[in-house]
A = this chain, B = another copy of it.
Amino acid sequence: MKPQYTSVWGRLAAEGARPPKKDASTSQAQIVRATIELLDAEGLDALSMRRLGTKLSMGATSIYWYVANKVELLDLAMDEVFGEIALPVGGGLHWQEAASVFAHSLRQALLRHPWAIKLLGSRPSLGPNALILAEKAMILFEDAGFHGPAIDHAVNTLTAYVMGVTASESGWYEMVAATGLSPKQWLEQNESAVVASMAGRPTLHALYERTRESGDLRDDMIDRFAFGLSCVLDGLAARLPR
């Protein structure tokens, strides 16, 4: 039975101490950078190999010399995003502060690259930057005093929360952006529809009113994020063995 590679990383590792083949790897880096630019600017659906090729002034199929296929390219782009995320470990910070920095950094990276959030659910992250980050996260909670499986559980709880909030936040932004309206305009324009659908749902309706009247929606989102984050961190602290 031949081995089944499920990602770039598996393939690379299996090929052994890979000869980096300098030119090829720098070209690959350029391709990945262009990919991220295109994704950031126009979204996941706008990325096609042909468009990427013209952006790079090369034929669409030439890209395949540096990259096995489109999902591998996306894996590489994802790992680049993981490289942007800060996790200050070993700097004398209290673990809750370090975890908070990490959480905010993760959220911001995902909001900067909304396409990344859609890919997160699709495939596990096993690239070098993702592994470095995972290792740092585990060290963070190990130093905090967790042991054994609890380390893994703590890391997962925190990242799961951040990924979850950020996914819905970014989904909301994208939907609004798709109409070309500002969030405030969107709320006003859809007022009748939303209100109608909320007939008989007073609690939801009250939330809608609060949202519509609030000042800056981005600020609300940050408050919301901070609320949940402190819940998670408190819950983790309560599970620290003493």
Contact = CB atoms under 8 A, between A and B. Distances in A.
B223 A231 contact: no
A171 B123 contact: yes
Interface string A190-206: 10111011100101100
A56 interface: no
B227 A174 contact: no
Size bracket of the A interface:
35 or more
A12 B136 CA distance: 48
Interface stretch (A28-36, A59-67, A143-151): A143-151
B124 A117 contact: no
Contact of A204 (B10, B122, B135, B154): B135
Contacts of A153: 223-224, 227-228
Contacts of A120: 121, 167-168, 171
B138 A207 contact: yes
Interface string A169-182: 01110111011110
B235 A13 contact: no
Interface of A: 3-4, 6-7, 9-10, 13-14, 117-118, 120-124, 126, 128, 131-132, 134-135, 138-139, 142, 148-154, 156-157, 159-165, 167-168, 170-172, 174-176, 178-181, 189-190, 192-194, 196-198, 201, 203-204, 207, 210, 220, 223-224, 227-228, 230-236, 238-239
Looking at A149, A192, A210, the one whose CB has the most chain B CB atoms below 10 A away is A149
User: What secondary structure prevails in chain A residues at the interface with B?
Assistant: helix
A134 B204 contact: yes
A135 B235 contact: no
B228 A160 contact: yes
A149 to B, nearest CB: 6
Contacts of A236: 231
